[in-house]
Amino acid sequence: MAKFRFVHNNINVKDLNKSLAFYKEALGLEEVRRITPEDGSFIIVYLGDGESQHQLELTWLRDWDRAYNLGDNEFHLAFRTDNFEQAHEKHLQMDCICYENSKMGIYFINDPDGYWLEVLPPKK
């Protein structure tokens, strides 16, 4: 059987600059590359964490005129941090924590479009 590996996850965003600023401030993700067609109908930006090869693809569509329907918002991306307390304090200051599960030792933040991002402590 052919082997597969994760490459990226895509999410669509309404305000690309706002999303880029959020992902940089909240999670330290940096732009790796960008695709912009001549007609300007969309922009795709790939973000990386500088550690793994997995990337987050943000897609902006010029003609999209409404908020994205996230359904029940039951899917999410997860990020592990090396300093959970520092990350939690940063996200409290940013006012982006949308759910905490102290029993499990995790919490979730919302990006500008309402996507949930799970924050995990260092692996023991």
Q: What does the longest C-alpha to C-alpha distance in the chain come to?
A: 50
19 pLDDT higher than 90:
yes
- Is residue 57 within 8 A of residue 76, CB to CB? The reply is no
Express each pLDDT in 24-54 by its tens digit.
999 999 999 999 999 999 999 999 999 999 9
CB contact at 8 A, 96 and 26? yes
| Contacts with 40 (C-beta within 8 Å, 6 or more apart), sequence order | 62
> Which residue segments constitute the domains of the chain, with CATH numbers given?
8-63+74-120 (3.10.180.10)
In this structure, of 24-28, 73-77, 113-117, the range with the lowest mean pLDDT score is: 73-77
Collapsing DSSP to helix, strand or coil, 23 comes out as helix
Spatial separation of the C-alpha atoms in residues 27 and 99, rounded to whole Å: 17
* CA pair distance 31, 2, nearest whole angstrom: 30
Report the DSSP beta bridge partners of residue 80: 120
Order across the sheet with 106-110: list the strands. 77-80, 116-120, 106-110, 97-101
For the cut 90, the answer to whether the pLDDT of residue 106 exceeds it is: yes
Q: What is the pLDDT of residue 124?
A: 79
Kindly indicate the confidence band of residue 72, based on its pLDDT and cuts at 50, 70 and 90: confident
Rounded CA-CA distance 124/120 in Å is 11
Beta-bridged to residue 46, according to DSSP, are 33, 57
pLDDT category of residue 75 using cuts at 50, 70 and 90: confident
